[in-house]
Amino acid sequence: MVPRSVLLIVDDALIRWALEKELSPYGVEVHGVETGAAALERIHETPYGLAFLDPQLPDADGLALLEPIRERSPDARIVVLGCDASPEVKRNAFTRGAWQFVDKPFNLRDVMGLVRSRFGEHMPKRRHERYLCRLPLRASLPAPAAGATPAELDNLTCTTVDVGAGGMRLRTGYRLRIGQRLQARVLRPRDPCASYVQPESELVWLDATESGFTGGLRWLSGPTPGQTS
């Protein structure tokens, strides 16, 4: 059974407070620390099911802690909260054993989705793992919505929310239609998560938001093996 405990290895008191507040309704034990040394002490004393790790700690390179944390608490899945989301940094984090890499500033709703997924409360449970990432896309619509201009059809701006072998979730200002096909091109192809993005997908759901729309799409071609672990 996954230990219902979360370790916050973050030196920013405001981020720790926000995560602790959001985690309180889930019935999990939460410990917050500010340094790498304190994190290693906690990991030695308590088994954790989930850890949030800031790569920039006062006394340590946070990414260098990934391996010792996994050795001391093998059940812990580690989410890196990073300001530097360059492909090299993300690849380094995944190579060392990170479960997810979340760009700062992050959306608390997305982060709490990881918490629910880790503790078996994400319904319906996805068949494939998803990775939170902000990949800019350029997309075209073979069958556009009514009233669209030709420029919109080949220059649709989207940003992924998460992506995996089964599909992706994205945000856009364009009102898509359920069942509509999307042809996408990644603008940051060196990102480790970019290997999952397939050329063509189909929209299966769409929600309106204050800033546009969030949609879920499934790949219409076979999945490409990812390079994230």
Shared domain check, 139 and 97: no
User: From the CA atom positions of the chain, what is the Rg in Å?
Assistant: 19
Mean pLDDT calculated for residue range 32-42: 94
Residue 156 has a pLDDT of 87
Q: What stretches of the chain show up as alpha helix (H) in DSSP?
A: 13-23, 36-45, 66-72, 87-95, 108-118, 150-154
Nearest alpha carbon to residue 80 among 66, 100, 95, 60: 100
Specify whether the CB–CB gap between 224 and 163 falls below 8 A. Answer: no
The answer as to whether 225 is a domain residue is no
Shared domain check, 103 and 30: yes
Tokens of 42: 């906690």
Residue 154 has a pLDDT of 65
Residue 144 has a pLDDT of 55
Shared domain check, 183 and 84: no
The domain of 45 spans: 5-118
- Predicted TM-score (pTM) of this structure: 0.83
Shared domain check, 196 and 170: yes
Shared domain check, 45 and 140: no
The answer as to whether 50 is a domain residue is yes
Tokens of 168: 């992706």
Shared domain check, 166 and 104: no
Q: Summarize pLDDT for 148-193 with one digit per residue, the tens.
A: 544 445 678 999 999 999 999 999 998 888 999 999 999 999 999 9
Shared domain check, 71 and 15: yes
Distance, CA of 39 to CA of 95 (rounded, Å): 20
| Sole residue written with tokens 């060392």 | 96
Helix (H) or strand (E) run with residue 99 in it: none
Domain stop point among 54, 83, 118: 118
Domain stop point among 83, 118, 153: 118
Distance, CA of 174 to CA of 214 (rounded, Å): 10
Residue type, 121: E
pLDDT greater at residue 39 or residue 142: 39
Domain stop point among 118, 153, 174: 118
Per-residue confidence band for 227, with pLDDT thresholds at 50, 70 and 90? very low
Question: Is the four-CA dihedral 83, 194, 171, 117 of positive or negative sign?
Answer: negative
- Using left for φ > 0, alpha for ψ between -120 and 50, and beta otherwise, residue 213 falls in beta
Q: Summarize pLDDT for 3-24 with one digit per residue, the tens.
A: 899 999 999 999 999 999 999 8
Does residue 122 register a pLDDT over 60?
no
Q: What is the CATH number of the domain that holds 53?
A: 3.40.50.2300
The count of structural domains within the chain is 2
Shared domain check, 9 and 114: yes
Shared domain check, 91 and 25: yes
Shared domain check, 102 and 62: yes
| Other Cβ atoms within 10 Å of 67 Cβ, number | 11
